[in-house]
Amino acid sequence: MSNTVKAILDQKGRDVVTVGPNTTAAEAAKILNSRKIGAVVILGADDRISGIFTERDLVNAVAKFGKECLDQPVVSLMTSKVFRCHEETTVNELMELMTSRRFRHVPVEAHGKLTGIISIGDVVKTRIAEVEREAEEIKAYIAG
């Protein structure tokens, strides 16, 4: 059986690095760098998810607008249509979503509020652990 988002969050924690919409791209880049992460979630006034800004968005903005984009607020460079998951979402469903939509981060939402974030690294780590466990079970079964 596939692990769920809940199992991942129970292990890695539920902290998410967030910024306000008026944070500049340069400030967001410093946060991505210092926290060693690939994405920040942008929260609106009501603390609801209003967008996601990842290292890919930064690369796209520099390529498109040049270094002037660094002074722009993230709200003008972020992705606003954010795909979210829930604690009950399975790792298999996440893999399907990340692969088909080609993104590496999925915020977790409960009752309209941000309660965690799953990266592709978390998914790969969990999947490897699942495969190793399955292999051990098969070996134990064969050894009888």
Could you tell me the sign of the dihedral formed by the alpha carbons of 13, 11, 105, 110, in that order?
negative
Residues contacting 124, CB < 8 A, separation 6+: none
The CA-CA-CA angle for residues 32, 47, 20, to 5°, reads 40
Among 110, 102, 117, 85, residue whose Cα is nearest residue 18: 117
Alpha-carbon distance of 107 to 68, in angstroms, equals 29
For ligand AMP, the closer of residues 4 and 40 by Cβ is 40
110 pairs with which residues across the strands?
Answer: 113
For ligand AMP, the closer of residues 4 and 98 by Cβ is 98
For ligand AMP, the closer of residues 65 and 103 by Cβ is 103
Q: Is 82 in the site for ligand AMP (CB under 6 A)?
A: yes
Site for ligand AMP in 92-121 (CB under 6 A): 103-106
In whole angstroms, the minimum distance from the beta carbon of 39 to ligand AMP comes to: 6
Q: Is 19 in the site for ligand AMP (CB under 6 A)?
A: no
For ligand AMP, the closer of residues 54 and 89 by Cβ is 54
In whole angstroms, the minimum distance from the beta carbon of 68 to ligand AMP comes to: 19
* Interacting residue ranges for ligand AMP, rule: CB under 6 A: 38-39, 52, 54-57, 79, 81-83, 103-106
